[in-house]
Amino acid sequence: MRPQSSRLKCCSERLEIVPLWCDEVGFLATDKKIFEDSFAVPYDGEPLVGHLLEVTQGQYKKIFADQENYLWHTFWMIVLKTEKTIIGSADFKGPPNESGVVEIGYGTNEAYRNQGYTSEAIRSMCNWAFEQPGIKEIHAETEKENIPSHRVLQKCGFEVFNETQDCLWWKLTISDDGRK
């Protein structure tokens, strides 16, 4: 087990946003108890079933295939500081493309929604991403009916830039002078 003190963390007023090591992603996809023991924090995030479980298993494979960019492939756990509980997760859906664009995704357990936690976590992760060399823009995709997710992105400064029949595409851009 790695020491918790050596972990990268994004911190906000109420949260720590912590990227998982590769083996922890594997544990998350296969055995919640082993994951909680490894991470040393109880998991109360979104239930890992169906599509979310498939995504988790797929990300585990991507991390192994591209370990140099694991921070862009792994899941970042959203941990309440006071309760020391994982309430959700977020991830970048791969390393930046040649234009400096990354995509972000996120989910929070329903019990912790509408309290500003997700906006706080996404804002922290976007700040971290913009500190990385070459990152110019962050994208997110939401279903048109997912109004709570729209509000999260709006609070974080994202704007809609594309629309399909079912989805909205959002972007957050860093200006040439470094302002978000």
Q: Which domains, from first to last, does the chain contain?
A: 8-173 (3.40.630.30)
Residue 1 predicted with pLDDT over 80: no
Provide the edge-to-edge strand list for the sheet that holds 159-163: 10-11, 15-19, 75-80, 85-92, 101-108, 137-143, 167-173, 159-163
Give the pLDDT confidence score for residue 6 in this predicted structure. 61
Residue 177 predicted with pLDDT over 70: no
Q: Within 10 A of 178 (CB to CB), how many other CB atoms are there? A: 7
Give the pLDDT confidence score for residue 94 in this predicted structure. 94
Which of the pair, 95 or 59, is modelled with greater confidence?
95
Mean predicted confidence (pLDDT) in 21-37: 90
Mean predicted confidence (pLDDT) in 8-29: 90
Q: What is the sign of the dihedral through the CA atoms of 157, 161, 94 and 174? A: negative
Residue 84 predicted with pLDDT over 70: yes
Task: Kindly state the DSSP code that residue 70 receives in the 8-state scheme.
Answer: H
Q: How far is CA 45 from the centre of its chain?
A: 12
Residue 46's alpha-carbon distances to 60, 88, 118, 129, in angstroms, are: 17, 6, 12, 23
Q: How far is CA 156 from the centre of its chain?
A: 14
* CA within 13 Å, CB half, 51: 1
pLDDT band at 7 (very low <50, low <70, confident <90, very high): confident
